[in-house]
Structure 1
Amino acid sequence: MLPARRILFVHAHPDDETLTTGGAIARYAAAPGTVCAVVTCSLGEEGEVIPPELRELAPDRGDQLGGYRVHELAAALGALGGPEHRYLGGLGRWRDSGMEHGEGTRALTPAVLHPRALAAPGAFDEQLGQLLGVVDELRPQVVVSYADDGGYGHPDHVRAHELTTAAAAARPDVVARVFHAVRSRSALDAGLAGIRDLPGMPFRVPGPDELPSAPDAVVTTRLDVPEHRAARVAAMRAHATQIAVWEHADGARGAAGAAGTVAFAMSNGVAQPLIDVEEYAMASGAGPTPTDDLFAGLD
């Protein structure tokens, strides 16, 4: 028999699970009577590599980044409490589609896609069948992914959204709720205010509207996850090719031993705050809209 609570997170690349839903994963992976599972749709082969000593892994060099990120993801999931994990279609079936850079941090679909690219136009039906196989196995009442623009336009995030939406619609007897992971403008602004003037921060402070955010009005559910901060930081550090982490050396320690103030950056070097509240928008679902628990009202 399956546990009473079952939740599935559908993500495009290794590191997305940590950056957008790491607190929720850690919370529900530790919750009694709960199956917490993550689907990763690609190996992130097209990512840009931050540490100079690892740059030969990059797709335009050794093209070994995907295999390396498999190990990064395993370490990150371990830090987040060891949720169940599946690769969509099996390890390496779908390749990171890559992206072109638009305005600010917006992503655009490349003009030419790899034949195995996750965002390939003719691949959707096969991918949906693979995701439905996971849904039929785990029978999650709650499924979490991205909003329709994928958060910032990346074609693989958009495809993950489309697959999640279609899978939930195909299994209404199983999936009771779909959530989109979002970050509100007010939460982002408050987080940036907390790191902007810290001495010694190695990252560039973003300009107005440079980082993606969602209108406050779309947020339905906020999860307080300060007790999982140390796990989230450890998971971010596990994704060393993709995420640079900086902890303010002020001597103030937060919950579970993590530093009181943490900033991180992707390969663009733009500072982002680690926020102790994760925000979600309920896209569809049964029961009253939950405010602080993705399962609230389903029990």
Structure 2
Amino acid sequence: MTSSPLPVADQRLLLVHAHPDDETIGNGATMAKYVAEGRRVTMVTCTAGEMGEILVPELEHLAADREDKLGEHRRGEIADAMAALGVTDHRFLGGFGRFRDSGMKWAPEGGYAIPADDVHENAFWHSDLVVAADELVRIIREVRPQVLVTYDEFGGYGHPDHKQAHRVATYGAALAAVPSYKPELGAAWDIPKHYWNAMSESRMREGMRQLKAAGEEVEFFGGDPDGPLPPVVVADEHLAAVVDGGSEGARAKLDAMRAYPTQIQVDGPFFALSNNLGDRVWAEEFYRLAKGVQGPVNDEGLETDLFAGLDSSWA
């Protein structure tokens, strides 16, 4: 007997990110596409981003070393971003303010982040892994997602909160699948497919070359299309999936990015990419498969749907 495909209305995606804006930059087009198609999207943010850099001079008073109110402001920004993407189920891990942004600094050799010299006692980086994971177990067992998306073990570029989000997502998913583990948190649920965010090396190099050809200054990743790239950029042979949000997904993603004026400059390199390369640069989002079986693929050997291969037994 052949199982039927998993109905779209029963497809549930859970994303775990560290700070407001991370989710939009990494997965905005995917979320917008899936919401528009009638799939359920749950977005979990682990901190309020209290230690973020403030790009708006008139809001610098919100900084952690002054009024320390940036987290509350970014709470409003992420609400606006979720509205732009159509996501209605957004949660802060353990509730707003449970875990604080840990901050970061750049490694002396550059290219990746390391923990800051001074880290708040309530920082997410310092959180007990079981305590934080249990908060996610509650959500997993309630939502029962078939797909989990988070960072790789290095957190993309090394930010301690990204690393911790990876650990919490991975451990929380493992605990949620154990029937005898804290049944008071809900009935056990094993998420069949786990993905890690990624940037395609070939697409990144192609985009940098096109920007240079258009006369634009390439202000990120060293600026050399043929030079070394940071760990957040992944060799194409390690990629398993690409989700193309199309022009609608790209526009929703850019609108959501505009909801973060304290973190993203509208006239900065992110939007220069869109202005010069079109929607494709933001519409396509790439993933590594961390758990599960790769479903049907395209000519590049990539799934085009994170739910590929799942059947109705996972409803």
Matched, 1:9 2:15: yes
Partner of 1:48: 53
Matched, 1:68 2:73: yes
Partner of 1:298: 310
**What's the TM-score once normalised by structure 1's chain length?**
0.85
- 1:231 corresponds to which of 252, 265, 278: 252
SS of 1:151's equivalent? coil
In structure 2, relative to structure 1, the CA distance for the partners of 1:213 and 1:246 (3 Å cut) is: same
Alignment of 1:264-279 (within 5 A): 274-279=281-286
Partner of 1:174: 190
**What is the letter of the counterpart of residue 169 of structure 1?**
A
Partner of 1:194: 210
In structure 2, relative to structure 1, the CA distance for the partners of 1:56 and 1:203 (3 Å cut) is: farther
C-alpha distance in 2 between matches for 1:55 and 1:108: 24
SS of 1:98's equivalent? coil
Aligned-residue offset at 1:289: 6.4
- 2:235 corresponds to which of 186, 193, 215: 215
Matched, 1:283 2:302: no
C-alpha distance in 1 between matches for 2:12 and 2:173: 14
Alpha-carbon contact 2:214-2:276 (below 8 Å) kept: no
Aligned-residue offset at 1:140: 0.5
Matched, 1:204 2:219: yes
CA RMSD of aligned residues (A): 2.4
More helix by share: 2
Alpha-carbon contact 2:212-2:218 (below 8 Å) kept: no
C-alpha distance in 2 between matches for 1:205 and 1:221: 24
- 2:116 corresponds to which of 110, 127, 135: 110
Alpha-carbon contact 1:282-1:289 (below 8 Å) kept: no
Matched, 1:57 2:62: yes
C-alpha distance in 1 between matches for 2:119 and 2:136: 22
**What is the letter of the counterpart of residue 238 of structure 1?**
A
Partner of 1:144: 149
Q: Which stretch shows the higher mean deviation, 283-292 or 217-226?
A: 283-292
Question: Which ranges of structure 2 fall in alignment gaps of 5 or more residues?
Answer: 1-7, 178-188, 298-302
Aligned-residue offset at 1:147: 0.6
Partner of 1:31: 37
In structure 2, relative to structure 1, the CA distance for the partners of 1:86 and 1:155 (3 Å cut) is: same
Aligned-residue offset at 1:4: 1.2
Aligned-residue offset at 1:274: 4.0
Q: Which has the higher contact order (CA 8 A, sep 6+)?
A: 2
Partner of 1:89: 94
Matched, 1:155 2:160: yes
C-alpha distance in 2 between matches for 1:108 and 1:280: 24
Aligned-residue offset at 1:277: 1.2
**What's the TM-score once normalised by structure 2's chain length?**
0.81
Partner of 1:268: none
C-alpha distance in 1 between matches for 2:207 and 2:196: 20
Alpha-carbon contact 2:12-2:143 (below 8 Å) kept: yes
SS of 2:43's equivalent? strand
Alpha-carbon contact 1:191-1:275 (below 8 Å) kept: no
Aligned-residue offset at 1:192: 1.8
Aligned-residue offset at 1:93: 0.7
C-alpha distance in 2 between matches for 1:69 and 1:203: 28
**What is the letter of the counterpart of residue 306 of structure 2?**
L
Structure number with greater Rg is 2
Alpha-carbon contact 1:25-1:83 (below 8 Å) kept: no
Count, aligned residues? 277
